[in-house]
């Protein structure tokens, strides 16, 4: 089955592709929507333009569209992107990185059903600690690009998501209720390298921006480099 992948460049959407390929599915294209609304309910916002480099690293065509990010209205833009992907790449399904968000999964499933596409969520209800441990074990190089929850501070911005970071996330979960996978928007991530990448992402210039209890790691310049 040829499928499209809803892609943000973060750990969840990248690992969903990884799982889908392991299951024998063909990823015909990636679909990314760039939202003008930083508080979009549906789409990842921080550093979203970096997906253009990540798509090259994956060697998969990218359908990149813009959306105003207006709640519920943004689904029309997703629908238009899926129609374009269906026409150009003959996709039969759509894979997403949904883990626990009923809001996102229901809306993706609704749009897919309307277009006769199968909605695939290979990470749905995975145990978050086991899931993150598996990503780390499988050599996913992930950094934190945004935080918005109690317990986080600027030191988390740009931090590598490794086993030590996972232990610290578990402490934040116990004290502040932070979802280990960041499914509640507590943090956002970016994949710099993984087994699917033909080249890895190198960040050449970045800036930390902190405002009261939240912050962003803004990538200003990046490039793809050969793996050693």
Whether 156 contacts 147, CB under 8 Å: yes
Say how far apart CA 96 and CA 112 lie, in whole Å: 11
Predicted confidence at residue 192, as pLDDT, reads 98
Using CA atoms, how far apart are residues 22 and 38, in angstroms rounded to an integer?
A: 33
- The answer to whether residues 132 and 180 touch, using CB atoms and an 8 Å cutoff, is yes
List the one residue out of 122, 99, 95 whose CA is nearest residue 108. Answer: 95
Domains and CATH numbers, the chain: 2-120 (3.40.50.620), 131-225 (3.90.1490.10)
Question: Which among 98, 189, 97 is positioned nearest to 145, based on CA atoms?
Answer: 189
The predicted pLDDT at position 137 comes to: 96
Task: Identify the segments of the chain with pLDDT beneath 50.
Answer: none
Matching residue, tokens 């950094």: 143
CB 94 within 8 A of CB 3: yes
The model's pTM is: 0.94
Q: pLDDT per residue over 139-183, tens digit each?
A: 999 999 999 988 999 999 999 999 999 999 999 999 999 999 998
């Amino acid at each position: 089955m040829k499928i499209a992948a809803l892609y943000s460049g973060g750990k969840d959407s990248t690992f969903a592709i990884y799982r889908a390929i392991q299951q024998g599915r063909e990823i015909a294209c990636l679909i990314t929507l760039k939202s003008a609304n930083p508080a979009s309910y549906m789409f990842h916002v921080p550093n979203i333009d970096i997906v253009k480099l990540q798509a090259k690293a994956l060697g998969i065509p990218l359908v990149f569209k813009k959306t105003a990010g207006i709640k519920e209205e943004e689904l029309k833009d997703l629908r238009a992107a899926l129609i374009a992907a269906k026409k150009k790449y003959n996709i039969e399904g759509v894979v997403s990185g949904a883990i626990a968000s009923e809001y996102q999964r229901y809306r993706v499933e609704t749009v897919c059903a309307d277009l006769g596409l199968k909605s695939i969520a290979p990470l749905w209800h995975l145990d978050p600690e086991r899931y993150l441990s598996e990503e780390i074990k499988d050599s996913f190089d992930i950094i934190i690009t945004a935080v918005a929850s109690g317990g986080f501070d600027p030191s988390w911005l740009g931090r590598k998501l490794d086993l030590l970071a996972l232990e610290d996330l578990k402490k934040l979960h116990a004290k502040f209720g932070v979802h280990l996978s960041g499914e509640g928007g507590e943090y956002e991530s970016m994949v710099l390298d993984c087994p699917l990448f033909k080249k890895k992402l190198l960040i050449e210039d970045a800036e930390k921006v902190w405002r009261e209890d939240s912050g962003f790691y803004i990538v200003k310049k990046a490039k793809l480099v050969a793996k050693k």
